[in-house]
Amino acid sequence: MATTSPPSRPRRKRVTRSPEDRRAALLSGAAEVFREKGFADSTVAELAEAGEVAKGTFYLYFDSKDHLLGAMWEEYVDRFLVTTRALLDEGGAWWPTLDRLVRALVAHAVENAELHRIVYRSANAKALDLCRSSNQRVIDLMAEFIGRGALAGAFRAGDVKLACRMLFHGAHGLLDDLISSAEPIDVEAVAAAVLELAHRGLGAPEPTA
């Protein structure tokens, strides 16, 4: 009696992804892993699995999980810088433009609250240093804008760079404190508080009667 061979399993179709797509998948997958396990308890093997790549492939894109988290924060900062440059390119008056920048900064942070929690609750010193390097790009761009405004007589600051650092870190510290509490955040109220600091620190003109 002739025997019949069992039907062969269909071969799984391999999907070829570009390096950009693999990197994006690692970043996206890492957000889930970090959210579920925390930064400290996550492993490179878990991050690679979430990004659907081999562990060895992970190291083609990132030196470590610290580097990956720093890249997540850099991407977050890059998105805000795109918004910032678009606002600056509109060429509006100095103070209204600054107000829109502050509101955009607050809204962007609140929209990415989970990333803030991952970074500032559990990241180690190396990852935090990478995040601070990205933050400096925002401070530098704001300093350049406020410096031009000071030369035009719109802003008054004895040291533009220090004023920008104060404004950024003041807003950032407040947002991290609020985000860590996990309570609802009134974006407009937070923006108003940061703007009050900015207006006082940069010498906003008194409103006319």
List CB contacts of 75: < 8 A, sequence separation 6 or more: 27
Which one, of 137, 125, 131, 208, lies nearest residue 176 by Cα?
Answer: 131
- Describe the crossing of helices 65-89 and 94-111 by its angle, rounded to 10 degrees: 150
Fold designation for 18-62: Arc Repressor Mutant, subunit A (1.10.10)
Token output for 183: 């309570």
Token output for 91: 């060429």
User: Is CATH 1.10.10.10 what the domain over 65-201 is classified as, yes or no?
Assistant: no
DSSP 126: H
Q: What is the chain's pLDDT, residue by residue, as a tens digit (209 residues)?
A: 455 554 543 443 445 779 999 999 999 999 999 988 888 899 999 999 999 999 999 999 999 999 999 999 999 999 999 999 999 999 889 999 999 999 999 999 999 999 988 888 777 888 888 888 999 999 999 999 999 999 999 999 888 889 889 999 999 999 989 998 878 999 999 999 999 999 999 988 766 44
Any idea which residue has 């990333």 for tokens? 115
pLDDT at 7: 53
Q: Find the DSSP H helices in the chain.
A: 19-37, 44-50, 55-61, 65-89, 94-111, 113-122, 125-151, 160-180, 187-201
User: What are the angstrom distances between the C-alpha of 153 and each of 52, 148, 199, 204?
Assistant: 54, 9, 14, 11
In the chain, CATH 1.10.357.10 sits at 65-201
pTM for this prediction: 0.81
The span from the CA of 6 to the CA of 4, in Å, is: 6
pLDDT at 102: 93
pLDDT at 11: 42
pLDDT at 4: 55
Any idea which residue has 């699995």 for tokens? 49
Residue 102: exposure state from Cβ atoms within 10 A (0-12, 13-18, ≥19): buried
pLDDT at 6: 47
Q: How many Cβ atoms sit within 10 Å of the Cβ of residue 172?
A: 18
pLDDT at 12: 36
Q: How many CA atoms lie within 13 A of 34 on its CB side?
A: 24
